[in-house]
Structure 1
Amino acid sequence: MLYQGDCAEYALQYPYDSVGIVVSVICLTAAGLCCKVAARKRRKCLMKWIPGAGRAEVTQLEADYTKSTVQGKFRLGETYLFRKKALGVWYLAWREILWAYRQVEDVQSRLCCGTTNYEVEHLILVTAGGGRTDIRLEGKQDAEAVLAWLARSNPAADIGFSPDKKKKYEN
């Protein structure tokens, strides 16, 4: 797996095709995006940034992204929460989050020989603009890690579900 910044090094290792001509290398960044790197120019990987709420400078996003900690499908930065999407990297500033909680949904599924129940984990984020983001998770540990990081990064945010909080943040 290639990570952001590794593209240039990879291109330098394999700069020529079988004829000896300099080629461009298509590689995957940590965000799962394609970036085109010319071996001789040592260009950086390009990412498409998808805002969750508000806008940010690309240089600030890139700096926070490279320093961020990986937790499942998330990258936890000092200023932003990042998540890989199909065509880019979704980001949300910690300071924009007003309320966050983990929601567990019990889903019943019918099979050929009967029924079964399974749990689906969601992380719900309510932002300053009244936006609500519902992120489906693979496991409980991802939500707990994001909520713990949020508590450290934005102590003013409400964490956890209660009927009072629901009334408070209803649009």
Structure 2
Amino acid sequence: MSPTSTTTAAEAKVIHPDNVQYPWYQLLVRTWSGTLYLYTDEEIAKISESFTPLDELPPVFDPWSELVKLTPPTFYYGWPVDTKLMLEYARRMGLVYPQSGTPSSPTEVAQAESWTLVNVEEYLEDVVSLEQTYGSQNAQERSLLIWSLYTNWTPLDERMDEEEIAEWQADLGYKEGPKWYLTCSA
């Protein structure tokens, strides 16, 4: 028993995620084998199909909550990258990738958008990060690129407050608030 705890290890009950509510969680939990485990395409598809972004982070996935739990996977709190909103933000901030003339092919347009995204990411690097997550609503894509404000592992006193989040939401052009997205690196 720790010097500050009044509960012995034997008395503490470890909480587990509900496998019905979070069916993807069973695929993340592996028995330690000492070797690197790579998920199969089928397992990745099951996680991707069954995960939906969370409006609020349940205590079972919050490493800072008081409950005794298994070590939770990483979740990112943010918004999906929306190309239209990102380009509007880049125009307002003077971050559009410079090019001579008008792009003449879809490939040139995609390259210009990719470099503009890099410019925006570098400009915002002290505030948000780009993260690959589950939560895509598109059946053809298994992962989703999001702007992350912080993770469930970020200490509470280092997280943005609601007012700051609302300011960034308005500045980036999002109508809805951020959600919690499961990392693809779980």
Shorter-chain TM-score range: under 0.3
- TM-score normalised according to structure 2 size: 0.24
Q: Which has the higher contact order (CA 8 A, sep 6+)?
A: 2
- TM-score normalised according to structure 1 size: 0.26
